Amino acid sequence: MILARSFIFGFPLLLAAVAGWAVREVRRSRMDHADGVVVMLSQGAPVLNPYLPATEVERQIIDLVHEPLIRLGADGTLQPGLAEFWRWTQDVTCWFANEAAARRAQELLQAQIGEKNRWAEWNLGSVRMFGNRLLLGFTEPNATGVRQAFELIAGPDLKPVVFWRVERRSALRQAWKRFMAESAQAKLVQRSWFDGENACEFVVAGDSPRLVEDMHRFLDGGPDEPAEINPLGEVGALSEPVLDLDIRPGRRWHDGTPATAEDARATLEYLRASEWPLPNREALSSIQSAEVQNDGARLHVSFRRRQGAALCVFVNLPMLPAAWLRAHPGVQEADLIQHAPPGAGTHRIASRDARSLMLTPVEQEKSMPRFLFHFSASPLMTQIGVDTRAVDLVWPAADPAHLDQLRFTPPRQRLVVLWNTKHEVLQNLHCREALALATNREELMRTLPGRLGHVSASLFAPGLWFSTQAQSQPFALEKARHLLSEAGWPQDVSGIARGPEHAFRFTLLVPGGDALHTRTAELLVAQWRKAGAEVKIEHVSDERALAQRLHERRFDAVLLDQRFEVSWDQLPWWHSAQAKPGGSNFCGIADPKIDLILEALAAEYDPAQVARRVQELEARLLPMHPMLPLFTTHDEAAAMPTLREPDSVKGSGLPVASWTLQTLTGPPQARTPSPTILKLQLRLPE
């Protein structure tokens, strides 16, 4: 009895004591940081890996601490970060039989600087000689004068440039490294790059009769595994697009050291050698070299392919100090927690432990707020913080009572259904269009909590400067039925639509392990059934098995998360060259006109022209219904009345999805990158 009384009376007292302690803690946070933003999070302390954020809040903390070379602004346009200017140019390299021939060619080009100044006409900015090699620098990536300049110096002393490819069944990289280090013929290789682990492509200037023989000696895997070495093509000179990025003067890391192009170069080299699942990884791998110029003020990056969208590699990609990377050659999770790299963002890490993180502004005079993050916050402490208004943000927002105060972060992905257009039923355009008409997205979003988002048919993430306002087809069930009937797919007595040879049946592949994916698939199947489609759901729990099914085209339709990237290159997903098994055009769309549009879009160097090309692509591709976009997904935070509405969102007409922690640091600065410099100052040959 005494024990029972103690429990009956003691538990409320204990609860009151805990509540009182919690009240004091959250009030102390508010009193100590009255000029800051207090954030309660149920998750544990993040690692703050700049290249592998586990959650949306970790991504936004990183965005405050670290600075990229180019930043995506709140209005969706490219803005200066560590880089103040950037411009595309073009390098053309010619190899000659000897130094004397190279010097004659240089003098011949120099003689074109006369009354007519053909250098200006050709967009030729410099001619430099390195032994028997001549490097022509053009001030435009698509310089019209490349052919004229080349024809002027072409002759018997000019060596041809030959592209080669070597393959074998087993991994090639170590054998290639040994060949480059030990073979006397390795000096003939001017460029090289790997295509996976089993293939390498390289460039050779001039004849190389002994090169292939010596390569076999180093690269053959044995009598049963010879390396296949074949020429790919021959050109007169090597043309490479170049991106120059000028570092903003006066930028410093949080430890006080200046930020230079060497830091950016070291970061790129580290990332190219890493296995982080970075956005635009393919464009990053196409970098041929990165050099520091202008006494550390310029990063000079050359690429193997003509791909204007490669600029997006540098957008929102955090840079790290070269000194820190040298001190931590194999970055581990412990390095990021115990020896966090200094950033160059608006905020620095002032204090950090397992329960909290304090960020303070680097420039106090700009009246930016401090941020205090509380991790592993209990529901009780969070609720008391809300009731006492000692908390500004609760993230994620799990309490429905605060739905009127929700703030949604930018969408990082959306749910789509990808059709296999080679399937016996889904190859019919009318069937794919009918499924789009029979899909009620609004009902899906009402039924699926936490899947609130934005509906858009565009191929690209909403909010980018080139994103379109392409609208999804509105729900029209009767129109879907009529469309099928008119196309020769009427419904039978069981309600299944039937064509001349097949019933309207297919299987929807669904990644396993996600209850919301499963529920979405079930709702879609029920909606499509009303239009006459009989759909079976097949779950695939293993990611590798799903990827293999996609690459081998062993699917009818698949429900996928489409992760958004800041890039306008869509060639890997829709070009006919990628439609064969093993390629990344999983739906199998093959259209010659779309191929040309995709190639022109990927090669576009001027961001101002991208929107026009995107509209052209979507006008051709979207009516083919290669996929069914459903809706974007968002993270969500509950904003308390203590938190002012950011000026950049308030009254701007922007969707609530544009809200981020960056918007709380003040109104966006009206910064516009300098336009691409088409006419650089003439530099005489050296």
How confident is the model over 455-487, as pLDDT tens digits?
A: 888 999 888 999 998 888 899 999 999 999 998
At residue 523, the pLDDT reads 95
Alpha helices in 67-156 (DSSP H): 99-110, 118-122, 146-153
Q: Give domain status of residue 337, yes or no.
A: no
Q: What is the pLDDT of residues 215-225, one digit of tens each?
A: 999 999 877 88
Task: Find tokens 């050296």 and name the residue.
Answer: 686
Model confidence, pTM: 0.85
| pLDDT band with cut points at 50, 70 and 90 for residue 358 | very high
- Tell me the CATH number at 365: 3.40.190.10
**Same domain, yes or no, for 573 and 432?**
yes
| Residue among 357, 320, 326, 316 nearest 341 (CA) | 320
623, 471 Cβ separation under 8 angstroms? no
Please give the residue that has the higher pLDDT: either 300 or 686.
300
88 within domain boundaries = no
Q: Which domain holds residue 147?
A: 97-153
Inform me whether the pLDDT recorded for 378 exceeds 50.
yes
Q: 616 and 512 in one domain? A: yes
User: In this predicted model, what pLDDT tens digit does every residue of 484-497 receive, in sequence order?
Assistant: 999 888 998 888 99
Q: Is residue 329 part of a domain?
A: no
Taking the C-alpha atoms of residue 237 and residue 152, their distance in angstroms, rounded to an integer, is 13
Mean pLDDT across the stretch 395-408? 65
Q: Check residues 23 and 544 and name the one with the higher pLDDT.
A: 544
Among the candidates 235, 255, 282, a domain finishes at: 235
Same domain flag for 438 and 582: yes
Q: What is the mean pLDDT of the chain?
A: 85
pLDDT digits (tens, 9 = 90+) for 609-647: 999 999 999 999 999 999 999 988 777 777 776 666 555
Residue 92 and residue 152 in contact, taking contact as beta carbons nearer than 8 Å: no
SS3 304: coil
Q: Domain check: are 524 and 587 in the same one? A: yes
Residue 391 lies in a domain: yes
Mean pLDDT value of segment 116-141? 93
The whole-number pLDDT of residue 309 equals 93
Model pLDDT, residue 658: 54
Averaged over 177-186, what is the pLDDT? Answer: 93
What CATH code is carried by the domain that includes residue 472? Answer: 3.10.105.10
| 140 and 201 fall within a common domain | no
Task: Specify if 279 maps to a domain.
Answer: no
Q: With cut-offs at 50, 70 and 90, classify the pLDDT of residue 345.
A: very high
Q: Which domain CATH number covers 213?
A: 3.30.70
Domain count, the chain: 4
Concatenate the DSSP letters of all residues of 586-655 into one string. TT----HHHHHHHHHHHT---GGGHHHHHHHHHHHHGGG--EEEEEEE--EEEEPTTSPPPTTTTTS---
Mean pLDDT for the stretch of residues 193-199: 87
- Confidence (pLDDT) at 35: 67
pLDDT at 30 over 70: no
Domain membership flag for residue 40: yes
Q: Which residues contact 386 (CB under 8 A, 6 or more apart)?
A: 394, 399, 402, 638, 640
Same domain, 357 and 496: no
Last residue of a domain, one of 235, 250, 274: 235
Q: Tell me: do 599 and 516 sit in the same domain.
A: yes
Residue 395 confidence class, pLDDT cut points 50, 70, 90? confident
Is there a contact between 35 and 369 (Cβ–Cβ < 8 Å)? yes
Which of 201, 217, 235 delimits the end of a domain? 235
Would residue 276 count as lying in a domain?
no
Please indicate, yes or no, whether residues 192 and 52 belong to a single structural domain of this protein. no
- The reply to whether 495 and 553 lie within a common domain is yes
At residue 404, the pLDDT reads 53
418-447, pLDDT tens digit by residue? 999 999 999 999 999 999 999 999 899 888
pLDDT beyond 90 at 106:
yes
C-alpha–C-alpha distance, residues 352 and 625, integer Å: 50
- Residue 142 confidence (pLDDT): 86
Percent of the chain with pLDDT over 70: 86
| Claim to verify: residue 169 and residue 149 sit in the same structural domain | no
Residue 307 lies in a domain: no
Q: Quick check: 168 pLDDT over 50? A: yes
- List C-alpha distances in Å: 340 to 41, 56, 346, 352, 355: 21, 19, 16, 10, 17
595 lies in the same domain as 577: yes
445 and 571 assigned to the same domain: yes
